[in-house]
Amino acid sequence: MNEETVAQQLAELLKRLDGVRSSTGNKHEKFRVALTGVLRLLSGNEATLKGLQGAPEELKGYILNLAIELGEESMRQFESLRSQVELILSQVRESPDRKS
């Protein structure tokens, strides 16, 4: 594998990392907003929560599910990135152009 190919693959990986970072940041922000809203509802007047036809357990479940989804999605994205790095590394190591 020549240096130009490695450079191209690494540039693509950096571009993907930027996308993952942005996507993950957006999802964390969504979670923070949801958590803030739920905590405000749960700590406020019970009439407000009833007026929204919400139940504390449902709100807690929503936040818990959102947190689980956020964690799982983050792990999937980073595992995918790790696989790409491992692939590039194995290609470099197996390359006949590599100087030992």
67-94 pLDDT, tens digit each? 899 999 999 998 998 999 999 888 888 8
Q: Which strand (E) or helix (H) includes residue 78?
A: helix 56-94
Q: How many CB atoms lie under 10 A from the CB of residue 82?
A: 10
Instruction: Tell me the pLDDT of the chain averaged across its residues.
Output: 83
The pLDDT value given to residue 58: 78
pLDDT at 98 over 70: no
> CA nearest 78: which of 28, 16, 31?
16
19 — pLDDT class (breaks 50, 70, 90) = very high
